[in-house]
Amino acid sequence: MTNIPPFSWSTNNDSQAEVVVKTVTSIQETRQVLELVQERKTVILILDKLPINQAQRVVDWVAGGTCAIDGQTFWIGETTFMFVPNQVRVKSSRPPISSVAPTLKIS
């Protein structure tokens, strides 16, 4: 038998890295999302519960907030976006969306 110490699954409480997955169901939740971005958290935003015009406004606001902290916006899917702060590096075959907010397609 070897003396291998048990692996601890506890997380480091001092860690700054956090990913938040948020489904927005009303435009009023935008402020909460912007606060997460301001706290330098990576936010995956799902907008499929909103009408296209409201979803576009949310993307515009959050992309602007992300740009303000030198972060990046990534398009994940039709109505799903990822907003990352400047200290997070993302490796992807897709280029990041420009600093201008993306436009959602009306189907």
C-alpha 99/C-alpha 7 separation (Å) is 42
Domain chopping of the chain, boundaries? 19-84
| pLDDT of 97 over the 90 cut | no
Higher-confidence residue of 19 and 11: namely 19
C-alpha 22/C-alpha 39 separation (Å) is 15
pLDDT confidence bin for 11, thresholds 50/70/90: very low
**Fold classified for 19-84:** Translation Initiation Factor IF3 (3.30.110)
C-alpha 2/C-alpha 33 separation (Å) is 48
Higher-confidence residue of 89 and 46: namely 46
Predicted TM-score (pTM) of the model is 0.73
pLDDT confidence bin for 94, thresholds 50/70/90: low
Q: Are 76 and 55 in contact (CB under 8 A)?
A: no
Q: Which residue, 45, 46, 41, 47, is CA-closest to 84?
A: 41
Q: Which residue, 16, 33, 13, 12, is CA-closest to 87?
A: 16
pLDDT confidence bin for 92, thresholds 50/70/90: confident
